[in-house]
Amino acid sequence: MKVLCPLERDKDGSKRTYWMRIGSAFTNRDGSFNVYLDALPTNNKLQIRELDERDLQKSSESAATAATASDGLPF
């Protein structure tokens, strides 16, 4: 799961909501959640959502890129 923070911004006189990913959440066996934050929301608002197709595609693409990268470094 992903943890998002809604950010409201004025753009051309209209309010828009942008979503910033600030962490991850994992479901425990008992149905509770562990939430890991990389940042703290200044507006005290969080939303936890399931990963969607775009998220899964991005993670598989980055894993494939990392697996094929060979820069000659031993680590």
Domain ranges of the chain: 1-42
Paired tokens of 20: 């910033």
Please say whether the beta carbons of 55 and 19 come within 8 A. Answer: no
Paired tokens of 38: 């990389």
pTM, 2 dp: 0.67
The percentage of the chain sitting over the pLDDT mark of 70, rounded to a whole number, equals 77
pLDDT recorded at residue 55: 79
pLDDT 10s digits, 7-60: 998 888 889 999 999 999 999 999 999 999 999 999 999 999 998 888 777 767
